[in-house]
Structure 1
């Protein structure tokens, strides 16, 4: 009897062991599909090649954004300080020749405005009539426009990054989710522990897109306001040059009238 009971126990244990094998194999398969590291770098390493390319492109776009911010901030501050210094000279001096002499070696915007007005005065032969004032105004407008284009150069890429980066990140997310669902169908399991890592890798692309886009938009708006302030300074410098020209014209007409008497 004891032998019969022993044989029955061994058979039940064997049957239970065989019944547990499929579940154990599925658990082992699920564990094999899990990534070892769910940190941002770990998700990047385990991502698809297309998603990796999207992430690298967005990281490069973010680097470009901060590089443009640093370069343009330094440039705008330097040119704004120099323009204010030149405007101080225009307010203090009373003759165009004196201002032109002080800014002859300069290559900044206000110095070019003064030099352009002096060249037109020389070409006009000292005839301070209404036509001369119109020609001066046209020259100063051209200089202002050229200097404005120069200082705004490079900021357009920020608008492009701010507008396109979220959609590029969304493309990487859609591609990653597609691969995650393909992996689900191949693994024949809907276990959340298997699905979640692939979706997390896909959503990382969207997060990087926002990280690249939001600073780009904020920096672009900030630089646009700074450039507008710089353009206002150039407008003030042009007005002051026109005032100097008008005063010199009035003095010239006064001298001619006195000589005629």
Structure 2
């Protein structure tokens, strides 16, 4: 009586066709890259969320305390104050002056958030491509298995099962890589969008407050008294 085939995951990998083994290795590397990006984005988004709250608190209460010089909130407020210190051009309306201050602050927010975006396209690629890469390994493995069956002329389950299991295991690894990548990409993009909205709302409020403060008129050294 023939011994039952070994269908453990390690055996399926070691006994697979070289092409299928290459597909599995590629998918495992993609999965490792996916989790590395997920961990990095979790830290980055937590930091950005904290900066968004600090910016909103600083706008609501200017006496809330000093901000870290290297933080996004401080950089955003510096950008707004830089535009305010340049003064209002005589040809500018009050609305245009406020819009210029707000534009400078929004640019600082956009720059900070763009630094958190690298890696997200790779997550999207892994999430969308991995199932098809795994399917390619499955199709190749099934073709190789059927070729072996035809060569041996044996269609028993003990002969068919290992090759089919190896092929299907490639699809399983593809799904293991794709599912976390897709979930993480969606969550990260939604979180980034919310942080951007929070920061831009705070920037708008800060610009409105700065535009109402006494300002230097361009070309003048005197500031209006409060």
Deviation string for 1:58-91 (max 9, x for gaps)?
1111111111111111111122113212321221
For the Cα contact (< 8 Å) 1:109–1:234, is it kept in 2?
no
RMSD after superposition: 2.7
Picking from 153, 159, 165, the partner of 2:118 is 153
For the Cα contact (< 8 Å) 1:110–1:237, is it kept in 2?
no
* Structure 2 counterparts to residues 191-202 of structure 1, below 5 A: 191-202=156-167
3-state SS of paired residue (2:116): helix
Larger Rg: 1
CA gap 1:102/1:125 in 2 versus in 1, 3 angstroms: farther
Give 1:129 shift: 4.6
Structure 2 length as normaliser, TM-score? 0.85
The structure showing larger relative contact order (alpha-carbon pairs under 8 Å, at least 6 residues apart) is 2
Deviation string for 1:108-151 (max 9, x for gaps)?
22222211111112222797853432321322232232222222
Q: Which runs of 4+ in 1 moved over 3 A?
A: 125-129
Rounded Cα–Cα distance in structure 2 between residues aligned with 1:178 and 1:124: 73
Rounded Cα–Cα distance in structure 2 between residues aligned with 1:138 and 1:81: 22
Higher helix share: 1
Picking from 182, 202, 212, the partner of 1:237 is 202
* Structure 2 counterparts to residues 145-224 of structure 1, below 5 A: 145-224=110-189
Please name the residue that 2:39 is paired with: 70
CA gap 1:89/1:140 in 2 versus in 1, 3 angstroms: closer
Deviation string for 1:1-27 (max 9, x for gaps)?
xxxxxxxxxxxxxxxxxxxxxxxxxx7
Rounded Cα–Cα distance in structure 1 between residues aligned with 2:165 and 2:34: 26
How many residues are treated as equivalent by the alignment? 218
Please name the residue that 1:45 is paired with: 14
3-state SS of paired residue (1:38): coil
Deviation string for 1:185-221 (max 9, x for gaps)?
1112211210111011000000111111111111111
CA gap 1:125/1:239 in 2 versus in 1, 3 angstroms: closer
For the Cα contact (< 8 Å) 2:102–2:204, is it kept in 1?
no
Structure 1 length as normaliser, TM-score? 0.75
Q: Does 1:106 align with 2:69?
A: yes
